Amino acid sequence: MELNEQLLSLVADIYDAALDDSRWSATLRCIVELAGGQSGGLVRIGAAGEPVISHAVGVDPAYIQSYIETYEPFDPSRGVLHAPIGQIQTIRDWLDVDEFRTTLFYNEWTRPQGLEDAANILLDKSAEGISRLSIMKAGGPVDRRMHQVISHLTPHLQRAMLVRQKLQQQNEWETTSLSTLDALRTAVLLLDAEGHITHANASARDILDEAEILRSVRGRLVTSDPNADRVLRQALAGTILGDRAMTGASISLHLTARDGSHYLGHLLPLTAGRRQRFGASYDACAVLFVSKAALDTIVAPDLIRKLFKLTPTELRVFLSIVEIGGVPDVARSMGLAETTIKTHLARIFTKTGTKRQADLVRLVAAFTPPIKV
């Protein structure tokens, strides 16, 4: 099977795993194998800071236990927790190879398993906790193929996490109630292949009533942006071609209201497995999620970078200031001189129209939370 075909197949598996937790181990194994890794794990760190390995493949249970009990604090890949969400990082982003091989973590945990490097990605971060993916490689550093495979799958893994957070309050998709959908600040619209709205939650009804970015015309969804509307129609029409065809047509939409507010839409097909059965109960072939731009969405770092035209380094400094604190601590965390951090910070203030570090924190806090309270 061609690499592109294998990737398309995995994308569908990822979304199904988001709705059925029992599928994650098999899906993770396929990701590790396709990337050329030896082992991999989905790690969840709760609000209390305790790491939990949600799923792991290719790792002896004894090593999993020792990682949780002893070695997790010494793992240099924990640095990914301060990286932009969705950015692939390897051991070499934090330590020189020779230095890494002198560490306790390498000599007592990594080396005995024959591992040399790992690709690490921060998938989501919220008040409830943090999720990250690690794919470990034997026999050398992370190579081009591993980077290519993970780069293609990362947006879908992030979106799958969002789907899980927004819709799966319980273990089974079928038990998700309409009251749960109405509790979401995220607008949820179920659509048929012609764009007719078969169900809209409370947040979606509010958006439709405002008729700024989305409106209903004789029951059919219409967007404020003609280009976005065309892309949406093409993607919906693609559902009649079958699951694999639609998987490749999964889309993201950027919509802007008249007052300049930015909204993000994600279209997910309901054309396979549990998704198909759920969609059938509403005569729907796809679900559209629409959220006002907020820090806790999966695209927040990239959105902030685009809105304020920040460079990658400026974005890292911005997020580090918010998450870590003052210039000295950020400089130590990033391994840069304080004068360098101050230079980047001055540019961030200019681009964001702020004057103090506290203003950056308030800017982040101003983003709307996803759940109505």
> 68-107, pLDDT tens digit by residue?
889 988 988 888 888 888 889 998 888 888 999 999 999 9
Q: What CATH topology corresponds to 309-365?
A: Arc Repressor Mutant, subunit A (1.10.10)
User: Cα(122)–Cα(63) distance, rounded to whole angstroms?
Assistant: 22
User: Cα(47)–Cα(315) distance, rounded to whole angstroms?
Assistant: 24
Q: Check if 3-167 and 173-292 are the same fold.
A: yes
225 pLDDT more than 50 = yes
In the three-class reduction of DSSP (H, G, I as helix; E, B as strand; rest coil), residue 41 is classed as strand
What the block records as the tokens of 194 is 């012609």
The pLDDT tens digits of the residues spanning 22-51 come to 888 999 999 999 999 999 998 877 766 676
In the three-class reduction of DSSP (H, G, I as helix; E, B as strand; rest coil), residue 341 is classed as helix
Domain boundaries of the chain, sorted by first residue: 3-167, 173-292, 309-365
To the question of pTM greater than 0.85 for the whole model, the response is no
Alpha-carbon 210 to chain mean position: 29
* Phi, psi of 119, rounded to the nearest 5 degrees: -95, 125
What the block records as the tokens of 279 is 């969609």
How is 259-322 classified by DSSP, letter by letter? TS-EEEEEEEE--SHHHHHHHHTTT-SEEEEEEE--TTSTTHHHHHHHHHT--HHHHHHHHHHH
- Kindly state the average pLDDT of the residues 315-323: 84
- Kindly state the average pLDDT of the residues 137-146: 91
Give me the pLDDT at residue 26, please.
Answer: 92
The pLDDT tens digits of the residues spanning 236-281 come to 887 765 544 444 445 777 787 777 666 778 788 886 655 565 556 6
**CATH number of the structural domain 3-167:** 3.30.450.80
Q: What CATH topology corresponds to 173-292?
A: Beta-Lactamase (3.30.450)
